[in-house]
A and B are shown apart, each in its own frame.
Chain A
Amino acid sequence: MQLYELTISEARKGLEEKKFSSSELTSACLERIKSVEPKLHAFVTLTEEQALQQAQKADFLLGSGEVRPLLGIPISIKDNFCINGILTTASSNVLRNFVPPYDATVVRRVNEAGAVSLGKTNMDAFAHGSSTETSDFGASRNPWNIERLPGGSSGGAAVSVAADEAIAAVGSETAGSIRQPAAWCGVVGLKPTYGRVSRYGVIAMASSLDSPGPITKSVEDAALMLEVLAGHDPLDATTSPLPTKPYRQLMKEKSEKVTIGISDDYFDGVDPEIVSAVQNALHELERLGHKVKKINLFNPKYAIAVYTILQRSEVSSNLARYDGIRYGFGRDAFGEEAQRRIMLGTYSLSAGYYDAYYAKAEKVRTLIVEDFAKAFEEVDVVIGPTSPSTALPLGSSKNHPMFGEIADVLVEPSTIAGLPGISICCGFSKDLLPISMQVIGPYFMEDLILNVAYQYEQVTDWSNRKPNL
């Protein structure tokens, strides 16, 4: 096994037992990046020198017996997280020269945990999309088939993990941007409860929805990353004051058997191969003693409409700040997708239309929140496919103004409600593309969905498969 193939947990063990150093591990990842990047384009900025310096420092600390959750572990960071002194563009031409003078809270947290940052990963520009095809610097490719899309917007993040360029990745999700690329690339993606992880220093998309979170090779790694990322932040007033939990420990402790809710609408119109893979996964969970129960959730087609209004409106408001006066370039530098979203958002917030659109969407949002609350009186978690399709061919998003929304139909309801969800690989299609399911839980019950995903991971070996590169 190559060093770059390790999970965080495996790498920590190796570092602790002095089988290899962080400098060796980091160099292995950098070599891997050099060999596969020409095919994949997961990164928009590499920070090789800084990474090697951080690794050296980590080796010094490891040598003096220091223990930190990510000490010496090379990770990638999505390009919408501000890093002090490192080019941060959100993969957009508007910010192609922006070097932040401060760190995002999430960046500060991974730094304090001892992580080594390899570089910034590609994304849909300003996170507008589910393909990375709206990146102003070119799309990333899916490592399972480079003629396919990786998904998005955290596409580069998912590719960096699936292709073993980074041991783990920091991504962010507004609706699907962690879970969907993780699903298409066959890795684990955890979208925490809204407000569990700070948004400070993240280039905003839709502020009432944005949730940073990890993309990893294993469920245990996702739990560890969440321990690092989660927590109240005085710099983000929407972060929750509720204490975080020892996610790894709770994930491993045998829980009571859970009742899993499934809703027919979440299987409607989904690729039959995906339906059967998720059904097999549900049987597997039944064999482990869990119960599966049919429930009726709000039809996801309404969630698309709600999400489209909320997101476009908040986008138009957030992107109003880009005028090229204080930093970056002017409004003529926006790509087409950003223009499209700004226009719809501006329209839906404009005089005479606010009630018909934004206010209406926020009311239906209430119904979706209540619908999930009712469901969680009957069941502990909800399971469904993460995406209605496996990775689509390059070019699929072009000239399709609702591409992202259709690709993310199954993650949008839980996003609108702000609930946590985890995507985990549960099979492969005939053409060898990963298939994934998602486990959705009640607010701040990340420990529960991690536990269910972990139990499933223990009895299957999908996540051990690697793409041929």
Chain B
Amino acid sequence: MEIDIEHVAKLANLPLDKRHMEILGEQLTETLLYIDRLNEIRTEKVEPTSQVTGLTNIIRDDTVSDSLPQEAALENAPETYNGYIVVDAIFEE
């Protein structure tokens, strides 16, 4: 099994060094081999289950209710400015 571990790390947005990537790549392969046993089970005619107790289309009234005050919502942010959260610039000049 060939896994492009660098690509996966990039998708996952994880800053990994080369050594770590190697170890995680090996463990990933090991785990995938374990998972492969699912192919012993035929599922062509089986529907998937994502919600076990059978709830569907849960809706609520479209009403305004209280929310966290701005101050509380921002108090864990490392950097704020004028009631906003400061983020790194994503566009280069």
Contacts and interface: CB of A to CB of B under 8 A. Distances in A.
Asked if A pairs with B, the answer is yes
Interface in B14-50: 14-16, 20, 24, 27-28, 30-32, 34-41, 43, 46-50
Q: How large is the interface on A (under 10, 10 to 19, 20 to 34, 35 or more residues)?
A: 35 or more
Interface stretch (A15-23, A299-307, A426-434): A299-307
Main secondary structure of the interface of B (DSSP, over half): loop
A240 B55 contact: yes
A350 B8 contact: yes
Interface string B43-68: 10011111111010010100000001
B38 A340 contact: no
A102 interface: yes
Contact of B38 (A195, A240, A361): A361
B77 interface: yes
Given A193-B53, A195-B53, A342-B14, A102 B68 contact: yes
B34 A343 contact: no
A328 B85 CA distance: 13
A347 B76 contact: no
Interface residues of B, number: 46
A309 B35 contact: yes
Contacts of B68: 101-102
Contact of B50 (A99, A334, A362, A367): A362
Contacts of A272: none
A238 B87 contact: no
B14 A364 contact: no
Nearest to B72: A101
A418 B52 contact: yes
A395 interface: no
Contact of A339 (B24, B41, B50): B24
Nearest to A369: B49
Interface string A319-351: 010011111100110100001101110110010
Given A302-B38, A365-B48, A360 B43 contact: yes
Contact of A316 (B12, B58, B87): B12
A205 B36 CA distance: 23
B8 A346 contact: yes
Contact of A306 (B12, B38, B39, B75): B38
Nearest to A406: B34
A367 B41 contact: yes
A444 B68 CA distance: 33
Contacts of B82: none
Given A343-B8, A343-B12, A363 B28 contact: no
A316 B24 CA distance: 15
A416 to B, nearest CB: 8
Given A195-B55, A331-B15, A350-B8, A308 B31 contact: yes
A325 B87 contact: yes
B53 A418 contact: yes
B89 interface: no
A347 B5 CA distance: 9
Contacts of B72: 101-102
Nearest to A240: B53
A289 interface: no
A417 interface: yes
B86 to A, nearest CB: 8
Contacts of B8: 343, 346-347, 350
A63 interface: no
A328 B76 contact: yes
Interface of B: 3, 5, 8-9, 11-16, 20, 24, 27-28, 30-32, 34-41, 43, 46-53, 55, 58, 60, 68, 72-73, 75-78, 85, 87
11 contacts: A99-B76, A208-B51, A305-B35, A320-B13, A347-B3, A359-B48, A360-B43, A364-B46, A402-B30, A418-B53, A444-B53
Interface of A: 97-99, 101-102, 193-195, 208, 234, 237-238, 240, 301-302, 304-306, 308-309, 316, 320, 323-328, 331-332, 334, 339-340, 342-344, 346-347, 350, 357, 359-367, 369, 401-402, 417-418, 443-444
Ranked nearest first, the 6 interchain pairs of A and B with the lowest CB-CB distance are: A418-B52, A327-B76, A362-B48, A101-B72, A363-B43, A346-B12
